[in-house]
Amino acid sequence: MNTVTVACFAILGAAGVACIVRLVRPGSSLADRIVALDSFLVVFVSALAVYTVRSGDDAFVNVTLVAALLGFLGTVTVARYIERRGA
């Protein structure tokens, strides 16, 4: 189990770095940055879930749920803003 969680953290770390690079890359549109930020939030929530499984402590389950819901609401709000703006 320890090897699997270490591999998951390594893959999630690489995905997080790729999201951050996409977020700060010059020349990206607002929609590209929002997708990168949403992808980073999904990676973060996944890392919290893996940590919860690894530690065996269920204290982070609620944090994971709240972070996922806030990320979804934030993405929907920004998508509506972009749609109304016409970008």
Render pLDDT for 6-30 as a digit per residue (tens, 0 to 9).
Answer: 999 999 999 999 999 998 988 878 8
Q: How many domains does the chain have?
A: 1
pLDDT at 32 > cutoff 70: yes
Residue 40: CB atoms within 10 Å = 19
Residue range of the domain that includes 60: 2-85
Q: What is the mean pLDDT of the chain?
A: 89
- Report pLDDT for 79: 85
Confidence of residue 87 (pLDDT cuts 50, 70, 90): low
For the chain, the DSSP string reads: -HHHHHHHHHHHHHHHHHHHHHHH-TT--HHHHHHHHHHHHHHHHHHHHHHHHHH--TTHHHHHHHHHHHHHHHHHHHHHHHHHHT-
- Report pLDDT for 60: 85
**What is the value of pTM for the model shown?**
0.83
